[in-house]
A and B are shown apart, each in its own frame.
Chain A
């Protein structure tokens, strides 16, 4: 069975600081990887996704993530955060490859990010 670990449950940063949120998964096969964001009072929105190819993935709002297969990691990064990035961030995974991709997602517990102005 798959599992996803997000080690930082709460992160507090000042505006303009750099951000890195950790995500590790456990699954031996090919995976699809996702980061979703949930702003206060809103629904989950897709930030970025990785299916295959270039392990450095760029998403919306200046976010990027790097898939490191040897470390089973898919960390989220942003060079300079803004107050509006305050939100809950979720990493998710499902089985990839030609036969997969449509399965239900396994989510981490989320990281609550607070940006102080």
Chain B
């Protein structure tokens, strides 16, 4: 059973561009979570999704950030008009119910 897959692993964007991060959950997992890790900080919860539904987005910045988990395909975290402060590692986790398993992360660098 393959683990949680994330791509790309590294992403470089210039200020003002869009970043799209993808996450494929483990087989049989219906819950997907996104977290952000800033330098010298722990992981911060951003959003929790199930298929076609956002369950909890209390950790998402109010502007420029959005997430989806369509019926088919991976979950997408989208950051519009990136700024330097968006540079971070973004981790996805999936869960069958209570235990979350993490992917390798996407390192976003905004120039």
What is the interface of chain A, defined by CB distance below 8 A to chain B?
Answer: 4, 32, 34, 36, 42-46, 49, 51, 90, 92, 101-110
Contacts and interface: CB of A to CB of B under 8 A. Distances in A.
Contacts, number: 58
Given A34-B99, A102-B95, A103-B56, 17 more contacts: A4-B42, A34-B100, A43-B91, A43-B103, A43-B104, A44-B91, A44-B102, A45-B102, A46-B99, A46-B101, A102-B31, A102-B97, A104-B45, A104-B59, A106-B45, A109-B40, A109-B42
Nearest to B43: A107
A104 B105 CA distance: 17
B98 A51 contact: yes
B5 to A, nearest CB: 11
Interface in B21-50: 31, 33, 35, 40-48
Q: Name the prevailing secondary structure of the B interface residues.
A: strand
16 contacts: A4-B42, A34-B100, A43-B91, A43-B102, A45-B102, A101-B97, A101-B98, A102-B31, A102-B55, A104-B33, A104-B45, A104-B47, A105-B43, A107-B35, A107-B44, A107-B45
A32 B98 CA distance: 9
B15 to A, nearest CB: 28
A81 to B, nearest CB: 22
Contacts of A101: 97-98
B42 A90 contact: yes
Contacts of A107: 35, 42-45
